[in-house]
Structure formats: structure tokens, C-alpha cells
């Protein structure tokens, strides 16, 4: 039988998939696909890492392969278990499983040491006694060749002896390094006798004080991939120039060679993505922590109310290529709206209330109105919303002197109250001093209750509302983009990214919600009808709920308004 789904063209392959498929076709590595996600545990993961995670795990999944999680923990002075834990939590939360393949570069310190010895014995590596500044100074520049170290031609015996004594802890930090002996005049800076090992008398989060010399990333990374028999080492563009070094190392040590493929990292508008800058925002308290809902970190997005599905879908949509890119946040927002529109239960709540009094509604009467929990998902059923004489509606939903495009409440005009009656505005009460509207008087049409025949009457606007005496007061945090410019990394002369922070990225207000919200649990997402999607924040207490706005609904009225 023909597979009907094949009728519709499959999503075209990205360049990495093409490479992998070619390798499979040619039977490389017995057509095996094995990738890895190799974070350094020195910070929290962000949406850029999510792209890489989805890519690596996604590729393995697509080609029936495997993906390892490996911590590149070769620099104990910067790394910490706090980060290890958060990284694992985030990868898992995103929906990926590394099975029993959790590794650490530090697992390989013994093996790596042996590899170094091999290089020394082959005369391909030597101990250099120059201080850091001198090594740097003799490295040359991209356009000018470097100078050879005076220690470059030590004998194999001497190098072996010195390396052993480095390891034994005989020398203080910074006094000696192991360097590869390649070519000080190579046009590729990374080939100018790169440092392989340095002395660091620092406790390592896993190996404790077993080592006082640690391999450099360039030495550890490719070899770790080799040890794990990774078939395709997917990494970002900046490592492209390192590849010749990795190839050299692998060839000289004579071990299994993975294939490295570089792709362009993700850039998102109106935010920053570098760990250093993110750390700065946290340390200098511009945000409240790594999981501040304004942060592009995975934990920040999670707290903001993003779902793993929406992020995975985002990673899929943006694609993979080699050219530098800047993705518009509106695409991320599209992804979460699309997901939450289908998932989130609806609830009515007013954030900027103004009182509505239904003059012809019986004084003490309360009706339980029936409303769909989620119109996009009939199976979710209905909920009861209490209706009474005094209500709150959104202050912006009323205008005394409206333009004709305004479909909401105004003197003499009719609107529908969602899931309730059609009401007509009769008069307005104002504060004599401030002239602010304090109450709107309306009449309701008894025959227009939802479901009744007369309720089919056409009215232009439908408003959300909440019964004043039944409203549950909650705290609401309205988030906006963290920066006011699309590309804060690209600061003009004399400024830095922090000069572009959005002072209004967080606004805290009270919200008045329908009573059904009382059962809300931390992490649950709701659509506040006509307002946006909100998630219950972990700061919530039993009697005081705190909501984070994930993203507002698309608002074409605001767009019309904005055009003026």
C-alpha cells in the first residue's frame, strides 16, 4: 500500500542532514549516527543552547542514533555542580533523554594524559616554561607569524620528565605548560603551538584534588568525542578554525576521528545571549536571577510560562544554516501562542478595573454563567462564572467619546459581556475632582443571556468581566522585552548593552479574577480572555496567587491605535 503521507513533500533537509545522509549512504561508521551535547557547567542554558540540544537529539532521533550528554568540565576554576544540575534539569525538561550516557570530560583525564604522553614521545609536544604574557606575545597576530619558543626543542626525555613532575605537583600554577609542536608561522592561529595542558592547583567538582594539571578545551574536546565514538560533532561556527587542530591531534595520536560540522548559533532580537552578559545581568541585579522570566535562559523561559513543545517547535522552525542570523522574538512568541491557544484553559480577569453597575439587575441576585473552559477544545468542558449586579470591566474597554472604530462600551452603546448578557451603557459617574470615571451604569437585556434566542443579536464588541464581589485578587507581573533595541550587543560608541535595558520590562499590577482560578497550581497556564496567556508563578502562596504574563494575545486594536 502506498503511503499517502508521502504525497506531501517532506520538509527539506538542512545541510547537516544532507551530510549525515551521505555518510550513511557511504556506510561510514557502519552507518551509525551518534551525536552529543557538550555544555561546560559554568552557567545556565539559554534558548541558543536549546537550538543545539534540539539539533543534536533531533538528529539522533531522526537517524535512529544516540546522543550523549557530556560536560566539558576541563576548567575547575569556573565550573560548579550547581550548573551541572541545572543543565540536566533543563535538557530533561525540554524533553530529551540521554539514557545512561551521561559523561564528563573529566572522566577521561587519565586517558587524555596518556594521549599527551604519546604526543611527547613522538616529539609532537613539549613543555614550555615561558610565562603567559610571553607566550601570548610570541604567538604573533593573525597577519604576522609567531616566534618559536626557546623550549621548543627540548628532548623527549626532558619533556616526559617535566610533564610527569607537572602532574606530580612540583610546579606552581602558570610556570609551565604542555604545548603541541606544530607551526609557529601557520596562518591559522590555532596551529601556532597551542597549549594542551596547564597547571591549576584547583579542586575539581568531580575529580577533587586528583589532578593539578588540566587539559585545555582544544585538547580535551575532540579527543572526548573520539573516545565516545561520536560520529558527527555538531558545534557552532567559531570552532571552524579549530578544526585543523582537532584533525592534527586525532591524526598524531592516531585515534578514531569524528566528523565536525559547524552551524550558526542563534541570535534573538531584543535580548542578549552570551553567558558572560547574562551573568552580568544576574550579578548586578538587573534581573532577579537566572530564572527571571525576562531572561532567555531555559529556566527563565520555563518560569515565564513557555512550554517545552513551543521551544522545540521554535528550534525546528528557525532551521539550521551557516550564515549569521537574527531571529525576531515575534517568532518565539508565535510558537508559544500557537501552543497555548490549544492547551490553556480560559478564565476571565480584569487588570485595570472600572465598576459597572447593572441598574435593572436584581439587587442580591447571583447567576452562575456557563462558559467554555477552552473553545479550541470542546472536551475541556465548561465552567461556572458568577454574575451579579456589580461587575468590573477593563478601563480601556470604555470610552466616553469613542472613535467610530471603537467596538467597545460607550454611552448609549451596547456590548456583549462574554458568556452573559448584552448590556447598554446609560450613564457615567465621575469623581468631581479628578474627573475620573468611578462607575458606569448599564441596563441589561434579560433575553440575551448566552444560549437564549435573543442572544444571537449582533453586537460589535464582547467584553470580559468579573463579578465585583466574587473577584479573586491576585498579583500579576506583566513582562515586556528586556531591551529596547533589537540588537543590544551592537552598542554604539561609548555605550554597552546595559544602556539599552528596558525600564518597563516588568510592571506589577493587581488582577481580579473569576473564582474558578482559586484551584490554580504553580506552573499552570491560563488564557485570561482577551488579555493574554498567564502562568502561575512559584512565588504564589495558598491565598495569594502570582501570575506571570507569558505573552499578550495578538491585539489588532492596539495596532490600529498605534498607527495614529
- Using CB under 7 A as the binding rule, the residues of this chain from 544 to 563 that contact RNA are 553-557, 559-560, 563
* Residue 118 phi, psi dihedral angles, 5° rounding: -60, -45
Binding mask 128-147 for RNA (x = CB under 7 A): --xxx--xx--xxxxx----
Span of 239-247, 430-438, 467-475, 509-517 interacting with RNA by CB under 7 A: 239-247
265 catalytic per annotation: yes
Residue of 40, 46, 43, 41 lying closest to 299 (CA atoms): 46
Catalytic residue among 17, 21, 40, 426: 40
Residue 103 sits in the site that holds RNA (CB under 7 A) = no
Span of 24-32, 157-165, 458-466, 537-545 interacting with RNA by CB under 7 A: 458-466
DSSP 448: G
Span of 90-98, 385-393, 399-407, 470-478 interacting with RNA by CB under 7 A: 399-407
Chain residues 270-309 in contact with RNA, contact rule CB under 7 A: none
- Whichever of 160 and 200 has its CB closer to RNA, that residue is 200
CB of 136 to RNA, least distance (A): 4
In b/e form, how buried is each residue of 5-34, taking b as 16+ CB within 10 angstroms? Answer: eeeeeeeeeeebbeebeebbeeeebeebbb
Out of 324, 379, 492, 508, point to the residue binding RNA (CB under 7 A): 324
- Whichever of 171 and 292 has its CB closer to RNA, that residue is 171
SS3 content of the chain, % helix, strand, coil (to 5): 35, 25, 45
- Whichever of 102 and 522 has its CB closer to RNA, that residue is 102
457 catalytic per annotation: no
Residue 437 sits in the site that holds RNA (CB under 7 A) = no
275 catalytic per annotation: yes
- Whichever of 466 and 506 has its CB closer to RNA, that residue is 466
CB of 424 to RNA, least distance (A): 15
HSE (side-chain half, CA atoms, 13 Å) at 312 = 16
Question: How far is 238 from 243, CA to CA, in rounded Å?
Answer: 10
CB of 541 to RNA, least distance (A): 28
Residue with cell 537550538: 51
Chain residues 158-217 in contact with RNA, contact rule CB under 7 A: 173-177, 187-190, 195, 198-200, 214, 216-217
Binding mask 515-534 for RNA (x = CB under 7 A): ------------x-xx----
Residue of 497, 515, 67, 450 lying closest to 278 (CA atoms): 497
What count of other Cβ atoms lies within 10 Å of the Cβ of residue 321? 12
CB of 328 to RNA, least distance (A): 5
Chain residues 334-363 in contact with RNA, contact rule CB under 7 A: 334, 337-338, 341, 346
Out of 408, 441, 470, 525, point to the residue binding RNA (CB under 7 A): 408
Question: How far is 505 from 432, CA to CA, in rounded Å?
Answer: 34
Chain residues 34-63 in contact with RNA, contact rule CB under 7 A: 40, 42
Question: How far is 30 from 57, CA to CA, in rounded Å?
Answer: 20
Residue with cell 515575534: 330
Catalytic residue among 32, 139, 147, 265: 265
Residue 242 sits in the site that holds RNA (CB under 7 A) = yes
CB of 554 to RNA, least distance (A): 4
CB of 176 to RNA, least distance (A): 7
Work out whether the CA dihedral 489, 490, 493, 495 comes out positive or negative: negative
DSSP string, 250-308: HHHHT----EEEEEPPP-BTTS---HHHHHHHHHTTSSSSTT-TTS-BHHHHHHHT--H
Out of 31, 111, 352, 450, point to the residue binding RNA (CB under 7 A): 450
- Whichever of 212 and 506 has its CB closer to RNA, that residue is 212
Residue 376 sits in the site that holds RNA (CB under 7 A) = yes
- Whichever of 484 and 539 has its CB closer to RNA, that residue is 484
- Whichever of 322 and 538 has its CB closer to RNA, that residue is 322
Strand spans (E) along 446-514: 462-463, 465-467, 472-479, 506-513
Question: How far is 100 from 107, CA to CA, in rounded Å?
Answer: 15
Question: How far is 325 from 318, CA to CA, in rounded Å?
Answer: 10
Residues serving a catalytic function are 40, 265, 275
Amino acid at each position: 500500500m502506498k503511503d499517502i503521507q508521502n504525497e506531501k513533500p517532506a520538509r527539506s533537509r538542512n545541510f547537516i542532514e544532507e551530510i549525515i545522509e551521505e555518510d550513511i549512504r557511504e556506510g561510514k561508521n557502519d552507518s551509525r549516527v551518534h551525536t552529543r551535547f557538550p555544555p561546560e557547567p559554568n552557567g545556565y542554558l539559554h534558548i541558543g543552547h536549546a537550538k543545539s540540544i534540539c539539533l543534536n537529539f533531533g538528529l539522533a532521533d531522526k537517524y535512529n542514533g544516540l546522543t550523549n550528554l557530556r560536560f566539558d568540565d576541563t576548567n575547575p576554576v569556573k565550573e560548579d555542580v550547581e550548573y551541572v544540575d541545572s543543565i540536566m534539569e533543563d535538557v530533561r525538561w525540554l524533553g530529551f533523554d540521554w539514557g545512561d550516557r551521561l559523561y564528563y570530560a573529566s572522566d577521561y583525564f587519565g586517558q587524555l594524559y596518556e594521549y599527551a604522553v604519546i604526543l611527547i614521545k613522538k616529539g609532537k609536544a613539549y613543555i614550555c616554561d615561558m610565562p603567559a604574557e610571553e607566550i601570548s606575545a610570541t604567538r604573533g597576530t593573525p597577519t604576522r607569524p609567531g616566534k618559536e619558543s626557546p623550549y621548543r626543542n627540548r628532548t623527549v626525555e626532558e619533556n616526559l620528565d617535566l610533564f610527569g613532575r607537572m602532574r606530580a605537583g612540583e610546579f606552581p600554577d602558570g610556570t609551565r605548560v604542555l604545548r603541541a609542536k606544530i607551526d609557529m608561522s601557520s596562518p591559522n592561529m590555532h596551529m601556532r603551538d597551542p597549549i594542551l595542558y596547564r597547571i591549576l592547583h584547583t579542586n575539581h567538582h568531580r575529580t577533587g584534588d586528583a589532578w593539578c594539571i588540566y587539559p585545555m578545551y582544544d585538547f580535551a574536546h575532540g579527543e572526548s568525542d573520539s573516545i565516545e565514538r561520536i560520529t558527527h560533532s555538531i558545534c557552532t561556527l567559531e570552532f571552524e578554525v579549530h578544526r585543523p587542530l582537532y584533525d592534527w591531534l586525532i591524526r598524531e595520536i592516531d585515534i578514531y576521528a569524528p566528523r565536525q560540522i559547524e552551524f550558526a548559533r542563534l541570535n534573538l532580537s531584543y535580548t542578549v545571549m552570551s553567558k558572560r552578559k547574562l551573568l552580568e545581568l544576574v550579578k548586578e541585579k538587573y534581573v532577579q536571577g537566572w530564572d527571571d522570566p525576562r531572561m532567555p535562559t531555559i529556566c527563565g523561559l520555563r518560569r515565564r510560562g513557555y512550554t517545552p513543545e513551543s521551544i522545540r517547535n521554535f528550534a525546528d522552525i528557525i532551521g539550521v544554516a551557516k550564515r549569521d542570523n537574527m531571529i525576531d522574538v515575534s517568532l518565539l512568541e508565535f510558537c508559544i501562542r500557537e501552543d497555548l491557544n490549544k492547551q490553556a484553559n480560559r478564565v476571565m480577569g480584569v487588570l485595570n478595573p472600572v465598576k459597572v453597575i447593572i441598574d435593572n439587575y436584581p439587587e442580591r441576585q447571583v447567576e452562575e454563567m456557563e462558559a467554555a473552559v477552552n473553545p479550541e477544545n470542546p472536551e475541556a468542558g465548561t465552567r461556572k462564572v458568577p454574575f451579579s449586579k456589580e461587575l468590573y470591566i477593563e478601563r480601556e474597554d470604555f470610552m466616553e467619546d469613542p472613535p467610530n472604530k471603537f467596538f467597545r462600551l460607550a454611552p448609549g452603546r451596547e456590548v456583549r459581556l462574554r458568556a452573559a448578557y448584552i448590556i447598554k451603557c446609560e450613564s457615567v459617574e465621575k469623581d468631581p475632582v479628578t474627573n475620573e470615571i468611578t462607575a458606569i451604569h448599564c441596563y441589561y437585556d434579560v433575553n440575551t443571556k448566552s444560549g437564549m434566542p435573543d442572544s444571537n443579536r449582533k453586537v460589535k464588541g464582547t467584553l470580559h468581566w468579573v463579578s465585583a464581589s466574587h473577584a479573586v485578587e491576585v498579583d500579576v507581573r506583566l513582562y515586556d522585552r528586556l531591551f529596547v533595541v533589537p540588537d543590544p550587543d551592537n552598542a554604539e560608541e561609548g555605550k554597552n548593552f546595559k544602556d539599552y535595558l528596558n525600564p518597563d520590562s516588568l510592571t506589577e499590577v493587581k488582577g481580579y479574577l473569576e473564582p474558578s482560578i482559586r484551584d490554580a497550581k504553580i506552573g499552570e497556564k491560563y488564557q485570561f480572555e482577551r488579555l493574554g496567556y498567564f502562568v502561575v508563578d512559584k512565588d504564589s502562596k495558598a491565598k495569594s496567587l502570582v501570575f506571570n504574563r507569558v505573552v499578550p494575545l495578538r491585539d489588532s486594536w492596539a495596532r490600529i491605535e498605534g498607527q495614529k
